Amino acid sequence: MKHLLLAFTVTLFTITSFAQKSSINSTKNIDILIKNINVVDVEHNTIHEHQTIAIVKDNIIAVGNAAIQQKYKATNIINGTGKYIMPSLWDMHVHFGGDTLVAENKMLLPLYIAMGVSHVRDCAGDISLDVLNWKDSINKQQLFGPTIFTSGPKLEGPKSIWPGDLEIANEAELKIALDSLQKLKVDFVKITDNTLDPELFLKSIIAARKRGWKVTGHAPATMTIETFSKNGLSAIEHIGYLSRSASDKEEEITKLKADGKISSKEATALYLNSFDSTIAMEKFKQLALNGTAVVPTINGSYVTTYLDINDHKQDDYLKYLGPALKRTYNWRVQRAANDDAAGIQFRHKNFEASASLLPLLYKAGITILAGTDAGYLNSFNYPGKGMHDELAIMVKYGLSPQQALASSIINGPAFFNLSAQFGSVAKGKKAELLLLNGNPLLAIQNTEKIAGIIRQGKYYDKKDLDLILSNLATVISGLK
């Protein structure tokens, strides 16, 4: 027995020393090594030059100086000289929808990736089951597209104008609706307000939060913004609703609207006439304390507001969108075309007032989530490119490039409690990365200078991405 134990110990010793010896001389096999690149540190608003990044599958296993290169033997070596690298973009408000447009919606998936958008939050439509299937296939790498977070069908009242909604008229129906969302395993709950009873709206927020979801939505015109916030609305979609907070007459005007004494347009005019940003600032501080975020989706409103100046009909990017999807753009174009000079002026004034609130949201400490509202119906608010437009317009209206970028790549994952895996180029984070030919902290437009992406463990250089785009354009040019 004693001999046996001794023999075992000797064997163990031999194995250990062999292993130690071999690790000194050998290198670790990895999938991707990026050499000499500028890492964009969005959180600290700075650049780390001459960095080496080691990637295994879709994980960053090391970031350091050139000296760490000798530790690794990579299948794919990328020369990052002169390039910048940051996490890929998160678009926190998109739509997949149009029940006859499933195939054209599916073609948006590679488009998002080619434009550097790796994660999208789908804020409801009428093709939820398809979206949930895509989400699953993308996660399994059977389908090429961005990681999807989806609300599934949103909650609304009876006879909602939007197809695909879960229509509820009372608490019993609310419970059934939430049960069905739980079965679908949706990522958050979205609520809108065209026919939903405002009291039931509040109850929906509370009930959905109780089940562990975050809840986002529009804000019914019949109650103050603070009412939704204090009842637990996780995020308000669209900055336009926040104009209400800039009025000291908010309670009065919401009451008039609740009593049916004024139209929506009259309410908007009353808010504009009493617009005061110092009042907004006070109320925003309270929203920040309540933990309510805002998804401004400012680019979509900008595009429709200024259709009289930029008609977008000749935009080159249209070649990447299916013809039937493009036809859904018409209703907003038509609606804008019906406005007379006074209507156009009102539109401009209303937009500029709400857009001016953007930096105040930030100053008040509200979490801003970058989202486009891109998809069907929302004219010229482009899937993929729209995210770059949104960031640029955030900067135009008063955020710094760093603040705009953070609202996408840091606040996006944080909304889904994924900050441990995303938000920076660092050891232990996911390698969902965007390579650029310019520093986006200096000029936000540099996010469009895409040099390559790393997605689900694979590197796609500019040529690969251009091929995805040109194939897409070819397929689409053959559709009617």
Under the rule (CB under 5 A), what is the footprint of Zn ion? Answer: 123, 373
Smallest distance, Å, CB 373 to Zn ion? 4
> In this structure, are strands 46-56 and 28-41 parallel, antiparallel, or unpaired?
antiparallel
Which CB, 93 or 106, lies closer to Zn ion? 93
Smallest distance, Å, CB 103 to Zn ion? 22
* CA 103 – CA 326 distance, rounded (Å): 13
Instruction: Tell me the β-bridge partners of 237.
Output: 295
Which CB, 62 or 123, lies closer to Zn ion? 123
Report the 10 Å Cβ neighbour count for 253.
Answer: 23
Give one word for 380, left, alpha or beta, with left for phi > 0 and alpha for psi -120 to 50: left
Which CB, 96 or 213, lies closer to Zn ion? 96
Smallest distance, Å, CB 427 to Zn ion? 36
Give Cβ neighbours of residue 480 (< 8 Å, ≥ 6 apart): 323
Tell me which residue has its CB nearest to Zn ion: 373
* CA 412 – CA 87 distance, rounded (Å): 11
Which CB, 237 or 250, lies closer to Zn ion? 237
Which CB, 224 or 381, lies closer to Zn ion? 381
Smallest distance, Å, CB 280 to Zn ion? 23
Which CB, 91 or 373, lies closer to Zn ion? 373
Give Cβ neighbours of residue 240 (< 8 Å, ≥ 6 apart): 301, 350, 354
Give Cβ neighbours of residue 196 (< 8 Å, ≥ 6 apart): 155, 156, 157, 160, 168, 204, 220
Smallest distance, Å, CB 95 to Zn ion? 6
Smallest distance, Å, CB 49 to Zn ion? 39
CA atoms within 13 A on the CB side of 297: 27
| Residue given tokens 């080496």 in the structure block | 52
Give the tokens for residue 90.
């998160």
Which CB, 190 or 283, lies closer to Zn ion? 190
CA atoms within 13 A on the CB side of 443: 7
H helices of 74-169, in order, are 102-106, 108-114, 128-139
Instruction: Tell me the β-bridge partners of 236.
Output: 217, 294
Which CB, 109 or 235, lies closer to Zn ion? 235
Smallest distance, Å, CB 215 to Zn ion? 15
Smallest distance, Å, CB 132 to Zn ion? 18
* CA 274 – CA 353 distance, rounded (Å): 11
Q: At what angle do helices 298-305 and 385-396 cross, to 10 degrees?
A: 80
* CA 229 – CA 77 distance, rounded (Å): 49
Which CB, 368 or 451, lies closer to Zn ion? 368
Smallest distance, Å, CB 278 to Zn ion? 30
Amino acid, single-letter form, for residue 62: A
Give the tokens for residue 164.
């695909």
